[in-house]
Chains A and B, each alone.
Chain A
Amino acid sequence: MTHACNLEGRQRLQTSIGAVLIQLSRFYIHTPRHALHYTHTHVDFRCSKYHPFRVIHPVRYFTSYIERNVRPDGRKFDEHRNIKLNINTIKSAETSALVKYGNTTVICGTKLELAAPKAEDPDSGFLVTNVELVPLCSPKFRPGPPSDHAQVISNVVSEIINNSKFINLKDLCIVSDKLAWVLYCDIVCLDNDGNVVDACITALTASLKTLSLPTVTYDPETEEIKVDTNNRISLKVNGLPVATSFAIFPNCERSILLTDPNTFEEEMCGGNGANITVSWNNGFLCGILKSGGGTLSIEQEKEAIKMAKERTL
Chain B
Amino acid sequence: MTEAADLKECKLKHMKCELNVLSKSDGSAILSQGETVTLISVNGPLDIKVQNQSIEKCYLEVLFCTKGGRPSVPDRYKEHIIRQTCESAIMGSLYPRTGITVTIQELEDYGGLLSCAVNCACLALLNSGLAMRYVFAAVSCAVDETGNVILEPTYQEVMNAKARFNFVFDSRNKNLITGFSEGIFSEAAYEEALEMSRAASDLVFTFYRDIVTKYSNVI
Asked if A38 CB lies within 8 Å of chain B CBs, one says no
> Who on chain B is nearest to A297 by CB?
B175
User: Secondary structure at chain A's binding surface: helix, strand, loop or mixed?
Assistant: mixed
**What mask results when residues 59 to 71 of chain A are scored 1 for a CB within 8 Å of chain B, else 0?**
0000000000000
Tell whether, in the assembled complex, residue A296 and residue B175 are in contact, meaning their CB atoms are under 8 Å apart. Answer: yes
Bound-state CA distance A221–B93 (Å) is 69
Bound-state CA distance A165–B182 (Å) is 12
> Who on chain B is nearest to A241 by CB?
B184
> Who on chain A is nearest to B176 by CB?
A296
Tell whether, in the assembled complex, residue A285 and residue B176 are in contact, meaning their CB atoms are under 8 Å apart. Answer: no
Size range of the chain B interface in the assembly: 20 to 34
Bound-state CA distance A276–B186 (Å) is 18
In the assembled complex, the CB of A206 is this many whole angstroms from the nearest CB of chain B, namely: 21
What B residues does A272 contact at CB under 8 A? 80, 84
Tell whether, in the assembled complex, residue B190 and residue A285 are in contact, meaning their CB atoms are under 8 Å apart. Answer: yes
What B residues does A286 contact at CB under 8 A? 183-185
> Who on chain A is nearest to B191 by CB?
A302
**What mask results when residues 178 to 199 of chain B are scored 1 for a CB within 8 Å of chain A, else 0?**
1111111111001100100000
Asked if B73 CB lies within 8 Å of chain A CBs, one says yes
Bound-state CA distance A287–B190 (Å) is 10
With contact pairs A163-B183, A281-B184 given, residues A290 and B178 touching in the complex (Cβ less than 8 Å): yes
- Count chain A residues whose beta carbon lies closer than 8 angstroms to a beta carbon of B: 33
Tell whether, in the assembled complex, residue A292 and residue B179 are in contact, meaning their CB atoms are under 8 Å apart. Answer: no
What A residues does B69 contact at CB under 8 A? none
Bound-state CA distance A280–B85 (Å) is 24
Tell whether, in the assembled complex, residue B182 and residue A159 are in contact, meaning their CB atoms are under 8 Å apart. Answer: yes
Tell whether, in the assembled complex, residue A289 and residue B176 are in contact, meaning their CB atoms are under 8 Å apart. Answer: no
Q: Give the residue of B73, B84, B184 whose beta carbon is less than 8 angstroms from that of A165.
A: B184
In the assembled complex, the CB of A259 is this many whole angstroms from the nearest CB of chain B, namely: 18
Tell whether, in the assembled complex, residue A295 and residue B170 are in contact, meaning their CB atoms are under 8 Å apart. Answer: yes
Tell whether, in the assembled complex, residue A285 and residue B186 are in contact, meaning their CB atoms are under 8 Å apart. Answer: yes
Tell whether, in the assembled complex, residue A301 and residue B176 are in contact, meaning their CB atoms are under 8 Å apart. Answer: yes
What B residues does A159 contact at CB under 8 A? 182
What B residues does A165 contact at CB under 8 A? 184
* 28 intermolecular pairs with C-beta atoms under 8 Å apart: A148-B76, A151-B76, A154-B73, A155-B74, A155-B77, A156-B77, A163-B182, A270-B87, A270-B88, A276-B179, A284-B185, A286-B184, A287-B182, A289-B179, A289-B180, A290-B176, A290-B178, A291-B180, A292-B84, A293-B88, A295-B88, A295-B170, A295-B175, A295-B176, A295-B177, A297-B173, A301-B194, A302-B191
The 6 closest A-B pairs by CB, nearest first: A295-B175, A292-B84, A291-B84, A290-B179, A151-B76, A155-B77
